[in-house]
Structures are given as C-alpha cells and as structure tokens.
Amino acid sequence: MERTVGGAMITSRPHSRLIGHFLLVLGLIVVVFPIYYVFVASTHSLETILKPPLPLLPGGDFIANYREAFYGGIGRIGGVGVGTLLLNTTIMALGIALGKIVISIMSAYAIVFFRFPLRLVFFWIIFITLMLPIEVRILPTYKVMVDLNLIDTYAGLIVPLIASATATLLFRQFFMTVPNELIEAARIDGAGPWRFFKDILLPLSRTNIAALFVILFIYGWTQYLWPLLVTNSNSMNTIVIALRKMISFADADTQWHLVMVTCVLAILPPVLVVVLMQRWFVRGLVESEK
Amino acid sequence: MNRATFPHKLLPYLLLAPQLAVTLIFFYWPAGQALKQSLLREDPFGLKTQFVGLANFKRVLADPAYVNSIKVTVVFSLATAFISMAIALLLAVQAEKIIRGKTLYRTLLIWPYAVAPAIAGMLWLFMFNPSFGTLAYPLRSMGINWDPLLNGPQAMILIVAAAAWKQISYNFLFFVAGLQAIPQTLIEAAAIDGARAARRFRTIVFPLLAPITFFLLVINTVYALFDTFGIIHAVTAGGPGKSTETLVYKVYNDGFVNLILGDSAAQSVILMAIVIALTALQFRYIERRVHYG
C-alpha cells in the first residue's frame, strides 16, 4: 500500500506518466505488430500477399485459407495437414512438460527426504547436466538415437529432453523449505513415504508445478534443433520444423497464405498458455531462475 | 539443518532411477563420445580412425572460418543482449511509473516469450524480405539497397532484430521484478533532496539493478549462443557467405552437412568449455547476490 502512495508522490506529474504510456504503446507496437501482421496475412489470398504493401486490416480469405491448411494438406511437406503438425507438437510439448515434472519431482523427493549412500554423488550427476545443452553434443546424441531406433518416434522427440537439472533443483529448493514437523507428524500418524508424498507434499507443490508446467510447455513447443535431427518423415514433423520446410524465400512457389496460417497456429497455443496462466508463469519464471 | 527423513533402503534409488537413466544415456554417454571423438581423426565414411591428440583443436582454432564464426558470435550475442535488455529496461521503468493499465501492458508484452525463435526469425524475414516484405518496401523507396538475403551486414541486422525481439519479454519481467524490489524510501529520500527523475535513475535505481542486469547478461548470452540456432537455420542458414555463421551453427554444419566429425567434436568440446565458464560465472554471481541481500 505504501508503495502506491509513495510512488504517486514522486511520479504524480501527469506528463511524465503520459510519456510512460506513450513509450509503452510504442514498445507494444514493436512487440505485438509482427504477430498481428502474420494473422492479417493469414486472412489474405496469395496474390495479395505477394503484392506489397500488405493491407493493415484482415482480409476476406480467413475461412478459405484455414480450411485449406487443415483439410487440403500442404503440398510442400508431402500433403500433411496442419492438424497432424499440431498434434505432433502438442504430444511433444505435453510429453516433455509432464515427463520432466514427474522425473524431477521423484528425484528431488529422493534427494531431500531420504538418506542413502551416494546421495550427493547422484545430486551432482544431475546438477552437472546444466552444463551440457543439446547443442554441444549434437552428433553423438544423434548416434545414440539411431542405435536405439528412436528416429521418427514420439519417444525420440520426448525422452532425451526430459532430463534436466533445473526442474530438479527447483523442487529440491522447495522441498527443503517444508518444515520437519510435517514429516514427523506424518510418521507418528503412521504415514509411509508414499502417503506423505501424495497427501502432503504434492498438494503443497501445486503452484510450483503449475508454474513449471507453463515454462516447460513453452520449452517443448519451441524446440528446434532436436526435432530437426530426429524426424525425417514429414508426418512426424513438429509445426515449427514443418514451417521451415514450407518456406523458401528464393523460389516463387511458396504458398505464403498457408505458411501464414501455419505460423498463426504455431504461435497461438503457447501464447494462450502463457497469457491464461500468466500469474503462475511470471512467479515461476522469476523465482526459478533467480 | 537436520532434516527429518524416511528410513528406506531401496526406494530412493528407484525414485532416482528414471532421471539417472535418461541422464546417463542422453547426456554423459554422448558428451563422453564428443570428448573422445575430438581426439580422433575419422574419415567421413567411418572406415578408419586414428588418435591425433589435440590436432583437431589446433586445426579448428587456426581455421579462418572458425575465427570468423567466433567474431560473428560475439557481435551477434552482444548486439542481441544489449538491444533486448535496453528496450526491456526502458519499458520496465515506464511500466513502474504508470498507474493504470499495468496488467494489460504486461499481458501483451509477454507474447514473444511463447514464440519459437525460428518463428520469430520467419516473422521478421516476412516483414523485411526484399521481394514482397511490407516493411522492406519503404526501405527500398528511400533508396536503400535492402536485401538481407544477399548482403551480410543486413542479414546480421535482421537476425539480431528477431533474436532481440523474442527476448524482450523475458528481460522485461525480470527488470520489473528488480524494480519492485528497490526500497521506495531510498527513491523518496533522493526526491526530497531534490534529485530529479533522470538523476534518481542514474544514481540509485540503475546501480541497485546491477545484480539483475548482470544475471540477465549471462542468461542473454547463453540464449544468443544456443537458443538462436533456429533463427539462423530458418532465416539465413549461416549466409550470405559465412556472415551469420555462429559457433553453434558451425558445429551443426560441419558435423551434419559437411561430415567433418573430428572438427565438429572439437568445436563441441570448446562450446562445452564456454557453457561451463558461463555457468560458473552465474553461480559466483548468485553467491554474491546472497551477500548483498
């Protein structure tokens, strides 16, 4: 409360706030315009798109373009429709988000609530993976995928990306703040590790899980290098990789209106997740990475 | 603190097993292979291998193309981090100043966070592509010979714009959190002493934001080094010439396209060293932060 009063005392000059709004609106234009503009382009015909400048308002081909993208199949990527691409990407993003949450919550639980030989060794083994992003071990990881027959499979898209130190560290940090009394009380009541986990720890972790889910869903949805390597067939592509295949700035037969529809559909789901779960997302982001 | 725990012999290992399995198979084994490969020389068909010590590293570091890609990476990372952080800080300061509409601004400003880097690149190339980009049109009519597909520096400008644009959201959220953590009393005291807004920002707000700015600098560098692969692959493919070939793109290109395994592995190991250095830097900073509260 004091904040607002204090803040108002200092910045009460209206013209300073006006400049603030002006700059923010300018920033918004820079930030939102590219996305808005792709939406506009997705509602125009190919001919209109190829004749600059493109109108600033949506055109009349919304239904025709979206129907073609969903049901007509897209020639450049072997006739695969946008529906398949969205499905693939959703499976990948959900698989990564849920998989990461499950395996990190399990290992954090083991590390914090049990004492066993080699506990710290295991913690460090997980912790060091922070320093091994996929980009630094591309080729050998690819070889492992080939040996395990995981090319062009959902497991291949998901499993190698679900191990991460960040989620484990986050849960570990949170678990360490759980008071000892809770565990002792649970044990006196005869609750075993599973009951304690299910009835006490999991409900306490709800907000952390929600925040992490948003961050990891976006992470999974926006992956590029990994799906590029482990998918060959067009029908296993994620939507981002398919977009790359659909576009050629050099030659003339790129179907830009369909590219634009695909672009909008590739942007929309993660934006919705971020905007609708904004409260958890912002908290989780700022807290988990600090 | 002495933690209360559950007495159990087998359970903790079972709980750790899935993560350890994935980590060992997909992190440690391949990273070890990269290390091993970086010391070997193998022909593209994998028929002959021989141990060559540090020869791969020597060759890679002496290669003008590699030196070029170091330069490209430094320019790209610094420009991306600086532009994106400067815009985000400006917007965060404005957002703290205003009273109405904060949530609305924030809701819209976080959109790019959800956009894949590769798509960010495509959006910018769509707007600025030389043949029908709506925003390339005014550039051309101003007499600028705009063609990022053929002109190296222009290609660099385009990918920096796309990479910085995508990162504004992230930096904005952290700067807002940083600004909110500054005690209001400090700023009021300065105001009473007669310091105007610009001076208050320069002498109080900005120094107090230093830890978060440093943290963001590390994060943005890591982002520019690794997460922007999609932008470069989708927009310029390292070209024109090699003017946008960053270190990560070169690892991919040498390994997967040109099939020079030893060189690619040596480059991977160099990248690993960079990540380890950056991570160490970040953790040192976290320790210091605890100091300053």
Q: Which of these, B265, B238, B257, B235, lies nearest to B249 by C-alpha position?
A: B238
Is the pLDDT confidence value at B193 over 60?
Answer: yes
What confidence tier does A50 reach under pLDDT thresholds 50, 70, 90?
confident
Q: Do A34 and B13 touch (CB under 8 A)?
A: no
What confidence tier does A251 reach under pLDDT thresholds 50, 70, 90?
low
Chain A contact present for B170, CB below 8 A? yes
Is B56 within a domain? yes
Rounded percentage of chain A residues whose pLDDT exceeds 90:
20
Chain B contacts of A9, Cβ < 8 Å? 188, 191
Q: Which of residues 50-79 of B touch A (CB under 8 A)?
A: none
Chain A contact present for B292, CB below 8 A? no
Is B21 within a domain? no
Is B262 within a domain? yes
Q: What is the pLDDT of residue A249?
A: 63
pLDDT, one tens digit per residue, over A96-129 is 999 999 999 999 999 998 888 888 899 888 888 8
Q: Do B240 and B149 form a contact (C-beta atoms < 8 A)?
A: yes
Dist CA A214 CA A200 (whole Å): 23
Q: What is the pLDDT of residue A252?
A: 64
The more confident residue out of A252 and A57 is A57
Q: What is the pLDDT of residue B285?
A: 66
Is B165 within a domain? yes
- DSSP string spanning A123-140? HHHHHHGGG--GGGGHHH
Which residue in the block uniquely carries the two structure tokens 């008071």? A179
Q: Do B230 and A109 touch (CB under 8 A)?
A: no
Distances (CA, A) of B255 to A114, A152, A224, B264: 43, 20, 17, 5
pLDDT, one tens digit per residue, over B75-121 is 999 999 999 999 999 999 988 888 788 888 888 998 999 999 999 99
Q: Do B95 and A183 touch (CB under 8 A)?
A: no
pLDDT, one tens digit per residue, over B14-33 is 999 999 999 999 888 888 88
Among candidates A34, A184, A187 on the partner chain, residue whose Cβ is nearest the Cβ of B123: A34
Q: What angle do CA A233, A237, A238 make, to 5 degrees?
A: 175
Shortest distance between the Cα of A204 and any Cα of chain B, in A, equals: 17
Q: Do A141 and B30 touch (CB under 8 A)?
A: yes
Q: Which of residues 126-165 of B touch A (CB under 8 A)?
A: 126-127, 129, 131-134, 136-137, 149, 165
Is the pLDDT confidence value at B293 over 50?
Answer: no
Is B220 within a domain? yes
Shortest distance between the Cα of B169 and any Cα of chain A, in A, equals: 9
Alpha-carbon B6 to chain mean position: 41
- DSSP string spanning chain A? -HHHHHHHHHS--HHHHHHHHHHHHHHHHHHHHHHHHHHHHTTS-HHHHHSSSPPSS--S-HHHHHHIIIII-BGGGTTB-HHHHHHHHHHHHHHHHHHHHHHHHHHHHHHHHB--TTHHHHHHHHHHGGG--GGGGHHHHHHHHHHTT-TTSHHHHHGGGS--HHHHHHHHHHHTTS-HHHHHHHHHTT--HHHHIIIIIHHHTHHHHHHHHHHHHHHHHT--HHHHHH--SGGG--HHHHHHHH--SSSTT--HHHHHHHHHHHHHHHHHHHHHTHHHHHHHHHHHH-
Chain A contacts of B229, Cβ < 8 Å? 135, 224-225
- The residues facing A80 across adjacent strands are A74
Chain A contacts of B112, Cβ < 8 Å? 31, 35
Dist CA B110 CA B173 (whole Å): 8
Classified as helix, coil or strand, B178 is helix
Dist CA A134 CA B8 (whole Å): 35
Is B227 within a domain? yes
Is B206 within a domain? yes
Backbone angles phi, psi at B49, to 5 degrees: -130, 145
Chain A contact present for B6, CB below 8 A? yes
Dist CA B215 CA A28 (whole Å): 25
Per-chain mean pLDDT for chain A: 84
Question: The pTM is what?
Answer: 0.88
Is B260 within a domain? yes
Which one-letter amino acid corresponds to residue A223? Q
Per-residue pLDDT, averaged over B200-214, amounts to 85
Q: Do A125 and B184 touch (CB under 8 A)?
A: no
The ipTM (two decimal places) reads: 0.85
Q: Do A192 and B7 form a contact (C-beta atoms < 8 A)?
A: no
Chain B contacts of A37, Cβ < 8 Å? 123, 126-127, 134
What confidence tier does B73 reach under pLDDT thresholds 50, 70, 90?
very high
Which one-letter amino acid corresponds to residue A160? P
Omega before A34 cis (within 30°)?
A: no
Q: Do B117 and A52 touch (CB under 8 A)?
A: no
Is the pLDDT confidence value at B287 over 90?
Answer: no
Rounded percentage of chain B residues whose pLDDT exceeds 70:
95
Backbone angles phi, psi at A5, to 5 degrees: -65, -50
Shortest distance between the Cα of A240 and any Cα of chain B, in A, equals: 7
Among candidates B91, B117, B268 on the partner chain, residue whose Cβ is nearest the Cβ of A24: B91
Chain A contact present for B230, CB below 8 A? yes
Question: HSE of A12 in the Cβ direction (CA atoms, 13 Å)?
Answer: 8
Q: Do B184 and A2 form a contact (C-beta atoms < 8 A)?
A: yes
What confidence tier does A289 reach under pLDDT thresholds 50, 70, 90?
low
Among candidates B5, B123, B184 on the partner chain, residue whose Cβ is nearest the Cβ of A115: B5
pLDDT, one tens digit per residue, over B214-262 is 888 888 988 888 888 999 998 888 778 888 888 889 888 888 888 777 7
Chain A contact present for B234, CB below 8 A? yes
Number of H helices, E strands in chain B: 15, 2
Residue of A nearest to B13 (CA): A110
Per residue in B128-147, is it b (16+ CB within 10 Å) or e — as a string? Answer: bbbebbbbbbebeeeeeebb
Chain A contacts of B31, Cβ < 8 Å? 132, 136-137, 140
Shortest distance between the Cα of A71 and any Cα of chain B, in A, equals: 23
Domain count, chain B: 1
Shortest distance between the Cα of B265 and any Cα of chain A, in A, equals: 8
What confidence tier does B265 reach under pLDDT thresholds 50, 70, 90?
confident
Looking at residue B245, which CATH number applies to its domain? 1.10.3720.10
Shortest distance between the Cα of B41 and any Cα of chain A, in A, equals: 15
Is the pLDDT confidence value at A2 over 70?
Answer: no
Dist CA A274 CA A215 (whole Å): 8
Q: Do B94 and A133 touch (CB under 8 A)?
A: no
What is the residue range of B263's domain?
A: 50-289
